[in-house]
Amino acid sequence: MTMSPDVPAVTTPDSQLPTRVSAPAGRALMPFLGIINFAIVSAGLGFSAVLLPNQLTLLDADNKVSNLALVTSVSILSAVIVQPLVGALSDRTRSRWGRRLPWMLAGGLLMAAAFCGIGLLQSVALIVLLACVVQAGSATISAPLAALIADRYEIDRRGMASAFIGFGLNLGYAAGVIVASMLAFNLPLAYVAFGAGLTVLLIAFVLVARDRPNKDMAVEPFSLGSFLRSFWINPVKNPAFAWAFVARFLFILAFFIFQTYLFFIISDYLKLSLADTNSLIGLTGLASIVPAIIAGYITGALSDKLGRRKIFLYIASALAVAGYVVLIASPTVPALFLMTVFMGLGFGMYLASDSVVMTQVLPNLEGSAAKDLGILNLATLIGQSVAAIVAASAINLLGGYISMFFVAIGIAVLGALAVIPIRGVR
């Protein structure tokens, strides 16, 4: 986490900013927040959870576990670099489309272009290279997108906006896995289909979410030194921000240990064939979607009504622990489906609450929201990257998949404990 003392954000000071510099959200924006998150996640998870493991298995079955960790961890590092950088640049962007949308469109086109090429590759090194482009494109969309809730919604509407985002994310997680498993027989076609779908939905989102022009909005003169120092946010002066980062990192790490290696959990831990694994992984997506959507919607509505977020984060962590315990106790297909339901409930609940918590711990809501949320979103990216390394290490060094499950349980418990010190959030 990049943090530094006493450095102001490199954007317009609060005293010169209006209460809301972006256009208020129209009716269509809230459902389209769900749609665009659906598009990003379905493409991303279809790639990482199904298409990439298939591709690496066909390329080198003996080294598939290590190669998946390599491709996943290295490629996500590109997003770790790009996301806060694009967030900060979008805060400074002045255009007839506002601060966020031009970056999102550019990121989507970059991601789609990489998808069109990666399915044709037969080299792990080249797959790593284009996977980095995929993740950089995804980060270029996600950094400005993360700021839209803070930009366009007042605090008492953010819970429902987050619920729509959670709806889209959870639907995307399921749809991405299902569609990818159906198209896995033809990897080039599958990749192109995801790239085309993402492009169409992103263009629709840009048209619906159009912001007011901000060419006349004041911006401080650019200074490279100040710009770089602005990525440092003092954890002592902003402890809620720091603990929110840690809590999100740990939960995402615990969840993605399961999600990233689900394909190999089915093929190696449950001992199913490649064809059966592709069929079953799609069904797990279906099993998770309904509980995730229900949990996200109910959590979003209740968290706004009660004004409480933490309790839902605790419950979400407990559900993740329960899921791992089930699969440890019974290495069977029915147990996998029960675990998937627990994970869906937990993830849907976590997303609906955590997204609001993130907006409540920002040091400078209007001046540097995208940059600060970009830093917070590094917790997601680093968690996903480290998940692949932790999972592969546990499998190869600690005795297999059961060891990996116990490690994930410990991480989920630590994630719940990290929520406790987040001040200013109930």
pLDDT band at 15 (very low <50, low <70, confident <90, very high): very low
Residues 359 and 390 in one domain: yes
pLDDT tens readout for residues 351-388: 777 777 776 776 655 555 556 666 777 788 788 888 88
CA atoms within 13 A on the CB side of 207: 6
Q: Indicate the burial class of 281 (C-beta count within 10 angstroms; 0-12, 13-18, 19 or more).
A: buried
Lowest mean per-residue pLDDT among 59-68, 84-93, 215-224, 386-395: 215-224
The pLDDT of residue 83 is 81
The pLDDT of residue 221 is 67
Contacts of 145 (CB under 8 A, 6+ apart): 36, 37, 40, 100, 104
The pLDDT of residue 242 is 82
Above 70 in pLDDT, residue 81?
yes
H/E run at residue 356: helix 333-360
**Secondary structure (DSSP) of 150-200:** HHH--GGGHHHHHHHHHHHHHHHHHHHHHHHHHHTTSHHHHHHHHHHHHHH
Residues 288 and 418 in one domain: yes
Lowest mean per-residue pLDDT among 33-47, 114-128, 184-198, 237-251: 237-251
For the chain, report the end-to-end CA distance as a whole number of angstroms: 24
- For residue 12, being part of any structural domain is answered with no
Other C-beta atoms closer than 10 Å to the C-beta of 426 total 11
Residues 38 and 74 in one domain: yes
The pLDDT of residue 109 is 93
- Structural domain span for residue 38: 26-213
Q: Would the pTM of this model clear 0.75, i.e. be above it?
A: no
Mean model confidence pLDDT for the chain: 82
Residues 411 and 297 in one domain: yes
Residues 197 and 67 in one domain: yes
Any idea what the CATH number is for the domain that residue 97 is in?
A: 1.20.1250.20
- For residue 156, being part of any structural domain is answered with yes
* Domains: count for the chain: 2
Q: Indicate the burial class of 238 (C-beta count within 10 angstroms; 0-12, 13-18, 19 or more).
A: middle
pLDDT band at 17 (very low <50, low <70, confident <90, very high): very low
* 5-33 mean pLDDT: 51
- For residue 19, being part of any structural domain is answered with no
Residues 39 and 167 in one domain: yes
Residues 92 and 184 in one domain: yes
- For residue 340, being part of any structural domain is answered with yes
Residues 269 and 206 in one domain: no
